[in-house]
Amino acid sequence: MTGGVIAALTAAVGFGLTQTVNRKSNLIVGPTRTAFGLLSAIEAALVVRVVMTGEWRMLAGAPMESLAAFTAAALIHYAIGWTLLAHSQEQIGVARTGAVASAAPLVATLLAAVLLDEPLTWAVAGGVGLTVLGVALVSTRRKGSAGTMDGGAFPWFGLAVAVCWGSSPIFIRTGLDGLDAPVLGLTFGLGAALVIHLAVLVMGSTLRHGSWDRQAVGWMAVGGLTGAVGIGAQWVAFGLTTIAVAFTVMQLATLIVVGLAPVVFDAEVERLTGRLVVGTVSMLVGSAIVVWL
């Protein structure tokens, strides 16, 4: 097993736990606050790590092109992608959001083939077909009850998450060409993205509406630790193996999310159904075909 695959497996576990924690906070303070608070907690953990290792000194000689690429990757993947993730979880639940977002490897594989000249085969057609089938199964409409999430709504937010997550690795690879320090690049990029994110929230007065619940802050702190491990391992994986392989292995996070959702959340929309299971498996198999055949 290569270092890239091990890093991707570590990222999968971190992401699976973080998505579940993300939903717990989302139920208390809403999606926008949850995304910003969780990412701030992750950045705090990353900063502590960079200071303790002394890796921050490498920033002095880092090319501006790399720093800009890291910032773009973090802004697209986390500030935008995770905000959309929280909205999707609010709309269709954790399990279905995790399943739909698992289409991200297809976006990443296609972009990597076109922009980075990574391998692309005819098997992609079969993988795309299975993934589309999976999305259709997961998002099939059903009647919702008053006061509950619309588990049958078409998952536009979830699909947007897949696009954000699938496109950000291109920027990560660009940044690593000039600064081969993935966790440092992540720390810088996420910090810069959070400054932009904060400015947008302040202009929209989002942070001034309502209070920061203590329980939600506690969930964000836990998510900061699991998220820092997951994201750091993800960026390391992108530097050690192809984007397609790294992303496919990381889809194991979906299995963790789908498995934990019925246990952690007492909501009808989080219940496992045959359609959800088949749809999730279909998307995972489709992604695997794209990578390994």
The arithmetic mean of pLDDT across residues 107-115, rounded, is: 86
| Confidence bin at 26 (pLDDT 50/70/90) | low
pLDDT at 51 over 90: yes
What total number of domains does the chain contain?
Answer: 1
Whole-angstrom Cα distance, residue 233 to residue 182? 9
Whole-angstrom Cα distance, residue 199 to residue 194? 8
The arithmetic mean of pLDDT across residues 224-251, rounded, is: 86
pLDDT at 290 over 80: no
DSSP 151: T
The arithmetic mean of pLDDT across residues 175-190, rounded, is: 93
Q: Provide the domain limits for residue 284.
A: 3-292
The arithmetic mean of pLDDT across residues 173-192, rounded, is: 93
Predicted confidence at residue 151, as pLDDT, reads: 52
Predicted confidence at residue 209, as pLDDT, reads: 56
Residue whose tokens read 């192809």: 242
Residue bearing the bigger pLDDT, 163 or 152: 163
The arithmetic mean of pLDDT across residues 26-39, rounded, is: 74
pLDDT at 1 over 70: no
Helices (H), 116-213: 123-138, 156-178, 182-203
- What count of other Cβ atoms lies within 10 Å of the Cβ of residue 200? 13
pLDDT at 146 over 50: no
Whole-angstrom Cα distance, residue 11 to residue 14? 5
Is there a contact between 183 and 196 (Cβ–Cβ < 8 Å)?
no
Among 15-24, 169-178, 249-258, 265-274, the range with the most confident prediction by mean pLDDT is 169-178
Residue whose tokens read 């999730």: 280
Can you give the C-alpha Rg of the chain in angstroms? 18
pTM: 0.77
Q: Determine the Cα angle at 18 with ends 162 and 75, to 5°.
A: 50
Predicted confidence at residue 177, as pLDDT, reads: 92
Query: What interhelical angle do 3-29 and 252-264 show, nearest 10?
Result: 30
Q: Is 123 in a helix, a strand, or coil?
A: helix
Whole-angstrom Cα distance, residue 118 to residue 255? 27
pLDDT at 267 over 60: no
Whole-angstrom Cα distance, residue 121 to residue 240? 21
Predicted confidence at residue 203, as pLDDT, reads: 76
Record the tokens describing residue 192, joined without a space: 């810069």
pLDDT at 50 over 80: yes
Q: What is the mean pLDDT of the chain?
A: 79
The arithmetic mean of pLDDT across residues 90-103, rounded, is: 74
Residue 192 CA from chain centroid, whole number: 18
Predicted confidence at residue 148, as pLDDT, reads: 45
The arithmetic mean of pLDDT across residues 95-123, rounded, is: 79
Is there a contact between 183 and 51 (Cβ–Cβ < 8 Å)?
no
Record the tokens describing residue 34, joined without a space: 């949850």
The arithmetic mean of pLDDT across residues 213-231, rounded, is: 82
